[in-house]
Amino acid sequence: VRQFLASLMGPATWENVTRLVTVSAGSEEATYKTTARSLDVPGFLAALGQEAGATTMPALVPGKAESSGVEVQALSFEAEEKETRPPQRYTEAQLLRMMETAGEMVEEEEFSDAMKGRGLGTPATRADIIERLVGPTSYARRVDGRLGPTSKAMRLMDVLQRVDVPVLASPELTGQWEFGLREVEEGHIPRQTQYDRLVEFARELTEALTGFQHDQLYLSEPPLGECPACGKGEVRESVWGYQCSLNTGKDGPCNFIIWKDRAGRYMDRLLVSNLLEKRQVGPISGFVGRGGRTSVGMLELMRDEEKEKWIVNLTYGQEEEGDREPEEVVGPLWPCPAHDDCQIVETNYRFVCEQLLQGKIRTGGPILPKQVCKRDMLPDEVAGFFGEPGRTEILEDFISRFGRPFKGALVRKKTGKHSFEFPPRPKKAAKKTDAKKTTTKKATAKKATAAKKATAKKTTTAKKTTVAKKTAAAKKTTAAKKTT
């Protein structure tokens, strides 16, 4: 009955209520804003049991809808730390829609009006533009069903900002030229004026893009830290990465550099600064595989003795920091093969050199996670890894990043890290089968040739018969004409 009565009644009207509370904290003040709704006209809600004045926030002064300057007492307070989330990446359908309605993103009203009904590209070219961004140019990639920028695209945007031509990456440029063309079309400005504007814009743009020096773009940025390789230079940002100030080329006194692209993830200044300071950062997300799937990993800045240079080592499959428990030592296991008076100890996460665990050394200590490629490692299985052979037996049940099982032996490298050694694949012994297949092919080929010859003969015979019939018919016709 209530639902029936509500369908016959008018709409309900709500009032938005905003409350500002100013809290004094010494010489500073903090203002907190609270919003709620109050039911002004119940309408159909009266039939459902709601009365006028219903609200989730009672009035400061009973009976008054508005009030100001009312003193209240702060009963309690609690500080909460939260993180904002960036907006989601666009899907291809959403990006096509954004390209179609690009004029809505232009702040200048004149330029926005000029782009109405036009957008970026045409209905026939927009999808092709996206494919070119993903394909040959590699400015975008498909990640988890959405489109994300590559490190190349982020470097390009950074350079455009620094050489002061951000208009190239803005829809306002299209709106500006569409507005100028419409002015010419409506006769407000002559055609030559718009042409001169285009020429001047192209000249200024060319000078800006060809007149800058790459090493001058980041001079105003402070250094990120001391170079870990030579200890003399400073690590500074460049277009391609973060390199030592003494890294002047192949024959320079230092060759240290951290590239801005690491496994599909853009290495920003904050991340590199933490990596230089702590030597190990993570777990962090955003690494992209070949199939477009994202993964979490740990970054470690270390010296590769085999290559004789510093590298950023990436280890996949680490847990998120919020889910990770503190590391605890279970007990010692074996003597350390790299250092005297040192042991390999077991923790709840890894088997590790005691000096490396205590922070006495940063690199060079043997270390092996207790879970490698989603396989739990037992002490008896990895004893050979930390012993004289420096390797384990062939172990099974490893799972690759792509979800495929494999087997192999874990080998200890000079750096103390592990690598895989795979068993040789069995050889294919099927020579007789190959010979049979060859004979079959030859026999088939002979049959096919014979069939072709037979077909050719039959066709020739048929043609001769047809010609003969036609000739006979022609003779009969001629004879008939003569008799007449």
If pLDDT is split at 50, 70 and 90, which confidence band does 469 have? very low
Mean pLDDT of the 449-457 span:
44
Last residue of a domain, one of 212, 241, 273: 212
Are residues 97 and 207 both part of a single domain?
yes
Which residues fall within 8 angstroms of residue 445, CB to CB, at 6 or more apart?
none
Point out the least confidently predicted range of 121-125, 138-142, 181-185, 191-195.
121-125
Query: Per-residue pLDDT tens for 80-98?
Result: 787 788 788 888 888 888 7
pLDDT > 70? residue 476: no
Q: Helices in 248-314 by DSSP H: which ranges?
A: 269-278
Residue 155 backbone phi and psi in degrees, to 5? -65, -40
Confidence of residue 239 (pLDDT cuts 50, 70, 90): confident
pTM: 0.51
In which domain, by residue range, is 31 found?
Answer: 1-82
* Per-residue model confidence (pLDDT) at position 10: 86
> Is residue 71 a part of any domain in this protein?
yes
Query: Looking at per-residue confidence, does 399 or 109 come out higher?
Result: 399
Are residues 207 and 123 part of one domain? Answer: yes
346 or 464, greater pLDDT:
346
- Residue 410 sits at the vertex; the CA angle it makes with 295 and 425, to the nearest 5 degrees, is 95
The pLDDT of residue 447 is: 47
Q: What is the dihedral of CA 148, 153, 155, 161, to 10 degrees?
A: -100
391-416 pLDDT tens trace: 899 998 888 876 788 889 999 988 88
Beta strands in 378-460 (DSSP E): 395-399, 405-412, 418-421
> Could you give the C-alpha distances from 199 to 193, 205, 212, in angstroms and in order?
10, 10, 21
Residue 400 counted as domain residue:
yes
Is the per-residue pLDDT at 454 higher than 50?
A: no
Indicate if 149 and 190 belong to the same structural domain: yes
The two three-digit tokens of residue 402, written as one number: 């792509």
**Are 99 and 167 within one domain?**
yes
In the structure, what pLDDT confidence band is assigned to residue 296 with cuts at 50, 70 and 90? confident
Going by C-alpha positions, the residue among 162, 283, 309 that lies closest to residue 228 is 309
Q: Angle 372-376-379 (CA atoms, 0-180°, nearest 5)?
A: 105
In the predicted model, what is the mean pLDDT of residues 454-467? 41
Same domain, 163 and 195: yes
**Distances in whole angstroms, Cα of residue 289 to Cα of each of 134, 176, 224, 283, 295:** 15, 40, 28, 16, 8
> Which residues fall within 8 angstroms of residue 30, CB to CB, at 6 or more apart?
22, 23
Instruction: Compute the distance between CA of residue 297 and CA of residue 277 in angstroms, rounded to an integer.
Output: 18
User: Do residue 200 and residue 99 come from a single domain?
Assistant: yes
Residues 48 and 150 in one domain: no
Q: What is the mean pLDDT of residues 299-326?
A: 71
In a domain, 53, yes or no: yes
Distance from chain centroid for Cα 290: 11
The helix/strand/coil state of 176 is helix
Q: Name the residue with higher pLDDT: 56 or 368.
A: 368
Share of the chain above pLDDT 70, in %: 77
Question: How far apart, in whole angstroms, are the C-alpha atoms of residue 464 and residue 366?
Answer: 89
Closest of 206, 92, 67 to residue 144, by C-alpha: 92
In a domain, 394, yes or no: yes
Any domain includes 319: no
Residue 358: its pLDDT value, please? Answer: 82
Q: Which helix (H) or strand (E) holds 142?
A: strand 140-143
Same domain, 419 and 340: yes
Residue 31's Cβ-count burial label (10 Å; 0-12, 13-18, 19+) is: exposed
Task: Inform me whether the pLDDT recorded for 467 exceeds 60.
Answer: no
Q: With a cut of 60, say whether residue 319 has pLDDT above it.
A: no
Q: How confident is the model at residue 290 (pLDDT cuts 50, 70, 90)?
A: low
What percentage of the chain carries pLDDT values higher than 90? 3
| 14-18, 90-94, 477-481, range with greatest mean pLDDT | 90-94
- Are 99 and 60 in a shared domain? no
Give the lowest-confidence range in 7-16, 236-245, 461-470.
461-470
In a domain? residue 308: no
Average pLDDT over residues 180-209: 86
3-state DSSP assignment of residue 353: strand
Amino acid at 224: L
Q: Structural domain tally of the chain? A: 3
Q: Mean pLDDT, to the nearest integer, of 93-122?
A: 68
Does residue 66 fall inside a structural domain?
yes
What is the mean predicted confidence (pLDDT) over 212-226? 85
419 against 317, higher pLDDT: 419
Q: Give a yes or no: residue 318 inside a domain.
A: no
The one-character DSSP state at 88 is P
Tell me: the pLDDT tens digits for 242-264?
989 888 877 778 888 889 888 88
Mean pLDDT of the chain: 76
Burial 407-432 (b: 16+ CB within 10 A, else e): ebbbbbeebbbbeeeeeeeeeeeeee
SS3 call for 430: coil
Q: Which of 26-35, 141-150, 194-203, 204-213 has the highest mean pLDDT?
A: 194-203
Shared-domain flag, residues 383 and 342: yes
Last residue of a domain, one of 52, 82, 112: 82
- Final residue belonging to a domain, choices 406, 424, 442: 424
* Residue 291 pLDDT: 62
Residue 31 and residue 122 in one domain: no
CATH number of domain containing 97: 1.10.460.10
Question: How far is residue 380 from each of residues 333, 347, 376, 377, measured CA to CA in Å?
Answer: 10, 15, 12, 9
Domain identity same for 53 and 106:
no
